[in-house]
Structure 1
Amino acid sequence: MKKAMKLQTKLTLLIITVVFVSISIIISFVASWITENIESKARTNIMNTAEMIAHSKEVIDALNMKDPNRSINSYVNLQLKNLEQVEYITVADSEGIRYSHPNPEMIGKKFVGGDESRVVQMGETYISEATGTLGKSLRAFTPIYDEVNKKEIGFVSVGTLTHSIEIAKHKAILYIIFIGLGGLLVGIIGAIILANNVKNTLLGLEPEEITKLYNEKMGIIGAIHEGLVAVDLKGRITLINDSALKILHYENTVNKELIIGRNIEDVIPNTRMINVLETGEAEFEEEQRINNTIIMTNRIPIKNRGKIVGAIASFRDKTEVTRLAEELTGVKKMAWSLRAQNHEFMNKLHTIAGLIQLEEYEEALQFISDVAKIRSNISNILTENIKDVSLSALLLAKYNKAEECRVKLKIDVNSKLNKLPDYMTSEEIVSVIGNLIENSLDEVKNDGTGLIYLKIIQDEKFLNIEVKDNGSGIPLEYREKIYEQGFSTKEGQRGHGMYIVKKIIDDFNGMISFDANEGIQWDITIPMKMEEEKA
């Protein structure tokens, strides 16, 4: 696959090309204008010189007397020294006999070139191009008149070699080219500087990478369950996700596009994001009430090269966080179970008190003995075989709750748990077993026939958990959905229990399966050792 050209290279080449084309066009126009100007200036110069010589009193007087002292040549040579771009000045009489010439040997000889006829015959003033004794030249002709008789007595020819004009043109063009090359060099340096500046501004990223990052950013923002709001330095909202609208109860009342650009105070009253912009200090886990919703907020300033350019806040519904935490750790269920345990003991105390009042002392003693024996059995299993204190407490609470609900919770006497799998916490094992037992308590009957069986076996390789009940089981149409978050067959539930159980087991490379033909039986296997990479 052909490698794409980098943005820096593209910008550099584009700017250089634009500069080169622009300079080339300018050079072509300027060169044409200057060459024309050089020739026009030469024409004007030789014509002005010819007019000056033709009206010179010294030349007219000397020409009338046939210049016996050759004063015309001396005068012309003197003038020639002070003139630029004039190669020669020739003064001739009406018959074309020269009285001045750069080559003294040509004085007295006939004028050559063939282009003097117009000035001799018709007295015209003009410029022509012809080849003379000095070579091809541009020549200006002007007649010389006797001021007294008003008669043409000769003419002046002032010329400059076309070769000299071409040299001047070439020098001018070369000078323009050098200036153009200098401009091109400056353009190249500027292109490199600009391309580097653009590259630094874009943090060295290519357009494809920027597009990819943008798409990834939008995907991440859409996937985040927390609310996100970003503002610029003036406190105007530049980003807000759907979760933020939902938490703030704006999802059905305000269009997200209409919120972008508004001041943060107008959308989220009493926010401290303006304070973060002013102080530049982040704020974490701050509690705030908005629209009758308590949220937990993190606010962080956005900096570019040490300068604050905005701020971003992430927040979540505190009630949702609390509920999920309770669901995960089993605190809510454990608290309920402890209340049930207290209620159950009060019932037993009332029973004993009633037997004593009826003077059924033997029955009272037997009742106390039975209760103590049952308590002793369950306590021995939990204290001697289950070494995790949190799990023991949970099972005792569930046992008491089951009794309160007239459900028998049987914990296998061979159950054993000396240590948890690698990296697994007490909260996680409590969440797994607590959710399974709680589901069974909801399914079995509360008429004394309900039965829940629990067995926990741990060896060197695996932790095996078995939970089964004699409830109604799981309908076929629901069996594929039981691990989906939010799915529940019970009213008032949010369906997080089995989702959390499955997630914890998956995190530890475990397996969970169930048989729902007669009641339901859960079988869980979790490796005691976790692979290094997974850990």
Structure 2
Amino acid sequence: MTLAGQFLVLQVIVLLVVLACAALFSVRQSDAEFREQRGAPLRAAAQELANIDLVRTAMTSGSIYDSLESYVATTQARTSTTEVYISEPDGTVVVAVDDSVIGQKVPLGERGDRRLRTWTGDLAFGDREAIGAQVPIISEDSELVGVVTVAEAYPTLGDRARRWLPDLVTFLGIGLLLGVVGSWLLSRLIRRRTRGLEPAAIAALADQRDAMLHSIREGVLAVSAEGRVTVLSDSARELLALREDDFEGRRLVDLPLDVGVLEVLVGEDDVHDRVLMVDGRLIVLNRNRIHHEGRAVGTVTTLRDRTELLAMQSELSARESVTETLRAQTHEFNNQLHTISGLVQLEEYGEVSSFIGRLTRRRAEINESVTKRIDDPAVAALLIAKVSLGAERGVDVVLAEDASLPRLAPDLSADVGTVLGNLVDNAVDATVAAGGPRIDVRLRLEDSVVSVQVADTGPGVAEDAAEEIFRRGWSTKSSDASGRGVGLALVQVICERRGGAVSVHNDSGAVFTARLPLEPPEEQA
């Protein structure tokens, strides 16, 4: 059955129930009105009959009952009643129009007649209900010698139905007509609001939506035009670091989110591939406004975790940096070989020997300056590569004299390499752009914490951007979801995962300091 049909059936049932209640109320009201209207005339007729001297004399003497039949018939005809009896004090009928009831007992009221008082109320004559009045017949000695009963039966249900049926049919017809019209209008309204879907289709869509939201890895956040959360998937709640479960229906601004995240979520413009830092994760966010028939109905935001992917990209970038360094060294070696070849052809053998000696000493000095301070081979190799790459771009990468780093665990060595590579690459870019001469690198192990400090001679970092560069992957280059502009954010992620931190200040350029504990927090606990 369609939704309109269900509403029609429901309204018809409601109308029938209302009509049944109205009929019951009408019956009770009709009985009350009948009782009120007929009680007084019946009581007056009974009093008039009981006060006739001949009636009182006959009941006192207990004879000449036949002479009272005319009075009883006259009273019954005049009042249009169904029952008029004269009975003895115990209710035994002695005078009545219908001889068949003489000798039978009339039901006496619960009060009055035995106390010489008039009584009016309901009486039962077999299976019939009647409104009756009973007046005592009192002798000259003030004794009860009989009772006059005048009663009229209530209208039958058939009589009432014949009286009410026209109105009942009219009201029912009007009600059904209004129900059909109302159901049709309501059905149109509901179909317009539900995009023409029936309840079964809506329920199926709701089930499919729940299943989809619980199965996809990307987070989904839907917000109504009033700014209230309508959909919050499990993945979105996890990515946004929301610990509670019941957020749907609440205002978006009331959610315990970082100020920077809220600014993006409540903005009015569409957002594409915005990189955010949330609880140590790099989140790529896309937010689109939803319109229906030209009216804004809310926004839908998708969230994707790119932390691991960006870590892999950073590692690949480090490998690419090493490859680029090897390429630069190959180019440099080719030039040097060409020089040696030319000197040999000129038979300048002494100059050849001197030239090779200078190259050997220079390479040995670079390797020795790094390896005598840095015992970890992976970090040392990376640093040597960065020194060569910086030299090719005209920047001196200088390791501090007090630098010292022992051999590290493989996971810590990889993290230190990632942090060092990103910081040095950013420093080289900033220094080259500003025309600076050098970059200072300092590595130390102090109090079970590896400290990585990289100071460039670039333009420095603006004070108002000191935190922004870590939180949103700030970069002087264009930022996108592929990894560009997230190097510093990745540095912060790695430091925070190990229970450390990264900071920046200016001192003739930008000075970045990253601290990485030897053991992650869970291992320390």
- Report TM bin, short chain: 0.3 to 0.5
Q: What is the TM-score of this pair, normalised by structure 2?
A: 0.47
